[in-house]
Amino acid sequence: MKPRIKALSAMVAPVALAAALIGVVRAQEIYAGGYRQQTGEDLYRGLCQGCHMPDAKGAAGAGAYPALADNVRLVAGIYPITVVLNGQRAMPSFGEELSDEQIANVINYVRTHFGNRYKDAVSPAAVKAARR
Ligand code: HEC
């Protein structure tokens, strides 16, 4: 008896394209996921102190990071609102990544800590109005 030679046919399993199921994730959502902090203190710790330092006294080295502590330039809330929204030279903008509320919260935190005693809190509406 001759051994039967069996031809093996390769079975190609159909592959479902996972890609078809993956929605497009907008960059905005990725950023929003990265900046979940809501309180002014958490936002400061997460986003600002890397440059302005934990004590907000700033630093000079490869670049110059101004002190936010005891800073008379924060007297008018619109100034930090504009800087945080739009950035300024080496200061990055946060207008697209943070909500009006988050920006107001972090500014209010800075304006009432680190030796700053500005009592007139900035509102999310003021941040919204300053967006261009
Ligand atoms: C990548 C580093 C960096 C980060 C992060 C950063 N800043 Fe700044 N910031 C700077 C630099 C540099 C300047 C100076 C800009 C200039 O030359 O006008 C500045 C300036 C400022 C000023 C104006 C100060 C002044 O005396 O004119 C404010 C207010 C400020 N930053 C707030 C913040 C807040 C609030 C955050 C967090 C949401 C933040 N910064 C995050 C680097 C940074």
Please tell me the residue having the least CA distance from ligand 1 atom 2.
51
| Element spanning 64, H or E | strand 64-65
Q: Delimit the domains of the chain by residue range.
A: 26-130
- Neighbouring CB atoms inside 10 A of 39's CB total 13
Average pLDDT, the chain: 83
Interval 51-70: pLDDT, tens:
999 999 999 988 899 999 99
Ligand 1: list residues with CB < 6 Å: 47-48, 50-52, 63, 65-66, 68, 71, 73, 80, 83-84, 88-92, 94, 106, 110
CA within 13 Å, CB half, 109: 20
Supply the CATH classification number for the domain 26-130. 1.10.760.10
45: β partners: none
Pocket test for ligand 1, best of 31, 37, 45, 51 (most atoms within 8 A of CB): 51
Task: Give percent above pLDDT 90 in the chain.
Answer: 70
- Give the residue among 1, 95, 106 at the shortest CA–CA distance from 47: 106
**Cβ atoms of residues 95 and 85 within 8 Å:** yes
Question: Mean per-residue pLDDT for 103-108?
Answer: 98
Measure the CA–CA gap between 76 and 83, rounded to whole angstroms.
Answer: 12
Over residues 19-56, the pLDDT tens digits come to 333 344 444 444 445 589 999 999 999 999 999 999 99
Of 7 and 60, the one with more pLDDT: 60
